[in-house]
Structure 1
Amino acid sequence: MSATSTSYFEHGTAAERWARARLFFEAKEYATAARILDPLAAEAPEQLAPRLLLARAYYHSAQLSRAERELRAILERWPVEDYAQLMLGRTLERAGRAAEARPYLRMAAAMAGEFED
């Protein structure tokens, strides 16, 4: 990546970069959204929204190991984040690790009030 393209992703205020990342995500340009969100999430690790959108961008751009790493970090900080539980389960499933995914998927379902009969 050239210095010019790197500066594009890092240019602007946090609010401008957040808005730009969301536009790329909504346009299904997930890898580009992730490149914007990665430094943004690192700047504010205490904020859930950029980190969750980063994990989603990684997932949708098939960067599954990065998605898993980000989701595990989210759950370490916010263990009751049901959407992160669901996403981690789906990420592990997509990576061919269904047995490892099951507890996360069950936890997400329980948190959403969806109990098995």
Structure 2
Amino acid sequence: MTEDGQGTFEAFRRAESLVAQRRPLDALAALAPVLEAEPDSSSVHLLAGRAYLGSAQLRRAEQAFQRVLELDPTDHYARFALGKALQRQSRLTEAQTQLRLAVAMHPAPEYQEALGEVSARIAVEESR
């Protein structure tokens, strides 16, 4: 691996660690050069999306998760995370669509719970 590649890898790992420590703004700062060096890497955009979501930059999170799905339409976690970003923007019907796809692709309890929350909220709003 080249020296630049090694630096990019280390910056990515540092950003991962910062997201895990709930320091999304620091993670985004560490990730900036990685995004520039690896614009077509779904894993880089996924990590950026997680950091944007963690820092309540919901539109940017949405864009990052959509980019992941352009690069890899089978990424169930990106669909789930996109659904969560849409839910937090009160775009419930769009969120429900993404969460349904995530559950169909990978029926994880976390995905099913999120879909149930959105579906219940839609039902309540429709009954008003």
Alpha-carbon distance, 1:89 to partner:
0.5
> How many angstroms apart in 2 are the aligned matches of 1:113 and 1:96?
23
Flag the structure with higher helix content. Answer: 2
**Aligned equivalent of 2:46:** 52
The Cα RMSD (Å) is 2.0
Which one-letter code corresponds to 1:45 in the other structure?
Answer: P
Answering whether residue 13 of structure 2 is matched by residue 19 of structure 1, we say yes
TM-score (norm 1): 0.80
Q: Within 5 A, what are the aligned runs for 1:22-101? A: 22-101=16-95
TM-score (norm 2): 0.74
Name which of structure 1's ranges 90-99 and 32-41 shifts more when overlaid on structure 2. 32-41
**Aligned equivalent of 2:97:** 103
CA spacing shift, 1:104–1:27, aligned 2, 3 Å: same
Residue segments in structure 1 that go unaligned for 5+ positions in a row? 1-11
- The percentage of counterpart residues that share the same residue type is 35
Which contiguous aligned blocks of 4+ residues in structure 1 show a shift greater than 4 angstroms?
Answer: none
Residue segments in structure 2 that go unaligned for 5+ positions in a row? 1-5, 113-128
> How many angstroms apart in 2 are the aligned matches of 1:77 and 1:49?
10
Alpha-carbon distance, 1:41 to partner:
2.1
Which one-letter code corresponds to 2:96 in the other structure?
Answer: R
- Encode CA deviations 1:62-87: one digit per residue, 9 max, x unaligned: 01011001111111111111000000
Which one-letter code corresponds to 1:57 in the other structure?
Answer: A
> How many angstroms apart in 2 are the aligned matches of 1:79 and 1:43?
22
